[in-house]
Every structure is written in C-alpha cells, then in structure tokens.
Amino acid sequence: MTQNSLNDGPKIALFEPDIPQNTAAIIRTCVCLGAKLEIIEPCGFLLNDKRFKRVVMDYMDEKEIKYYVSSNQFFDEKKNQRIILMTTKASNSYTKFKFEKNDTILFGRESAGVPKYVHEIVKCRLKIPMKNNKRSLNISSSVAIILAECLKQNKLI
C-alpha cells in the first residue's frame, strides 16, 4: 500500500466528542488507514484521561490531529470544501454515495449527535443502514466503515 500525504485524502471530523475511549479508537483507525483527524472542541474529556491513554496507546501524534476551538471556526475554514455528515437522521445510505478523495466526513457526539444548526449547514447527510430499526452503531465502528468505503472508492487502499 502506498501512503499518501495526510493532506491528500479524506478527513474524519468529530463534533465535540465526549467518550475518551471512542476518540482514542478513532485516532488509531485514522493513523492506521492514513486519514487526517479533526476535532471540534470542546471535548468532554481531557487528552490525559487514563481511559483515553489506555486505548490510544502509542498511536497518538498530536501533529496529525487538527483542533478547532469551535464549530464556527470549523465551518469557516471548510466553507469551500465538501462536508458529509453521518447521521441516523439521514435518508440516504452511504452505500449509494460517491465519496471524493478530499471529503471531510463529520460525526456527531456519541451522546447527542450534532445540533440542528449543523444539519442546516451541511447539505450532504448520510446514514449507515441497520437491520431491525436499531438506533446506532458505536461511533468508532461507524468511522471505520465509512472511512474504509471512502478509501476503497478513491483507490487509496
């Protein structure tokens, strides 16, 4: 597998993550698959949280993570880029969507998703279809599914 620059590929953005173990697992996924991680603050935990450190292990590289102090900063900087919101409230499935190489794929908080104003800002919303009307997958599993599909479609893996 050829490694691409982290600036030349998909970005995973987390909106105010609140569970340290999930964020740590997502960091590992992004590092292993070559995607850039972006975190929209505030986080619901500190990066020195022992639960976070136990899962992230030695995969944490601060320079590979971009932090935004607010959603305003995130959306200002992304105004000319395509953002895809993954949400259980979407009607379109990711399986029928064409990802682009430099997409930013946004995931909401584990406890509350994203606020209504984010749904209004982001025009592209997708879901992962689930059997038996289940509510949602763990966010780290969702990130892995969507990131793998994006990488596959764009022949980045």
Q: Which residues of the chain form beta strands (DSSP E)?
A: 11-15, 36-40, 65-68, 83-86, 92-93, 104-107, 124-127
User: Within a domain: residue 82?
Assistant: yes
State how many domains the chain has: 1
Asked whether the beta carbons of 64 and 6 are under 8 A apart, the reply is yes
* Distance of alpha carbon 87 from alpha carbon 80, whole angstroms: 22
More confident residue, 124 or 57: 124
- Confidence band (pLDDT; 50, 70, 90) for 37? very high
User: Within a domain: residue 86?
Assistant: yes
Selection from 86, 90, 87, 118 nearest residue 103 by Cα:
86
Q: Is residue 2 pLDDT above 50, yes or no?
A: no
Selection from 69, 85, 3, 73 nearest residue 36 by Cα:
3
Instruction: Output the average pLDDT for the chain.
Output: 89
Q: Is residue 27 pLDDT above 50, yes or no?
A: yes
Model confidence over 60-114: pLDDT tens digits?
766 678 999 999 999 999 999 999 999 999 999 999 999 999 999 999 999 899 9
User: Within a domain: residue 57?
Assistant: yes
Question: Which structural domain range is residue 82 located in?
Answer: 11-153
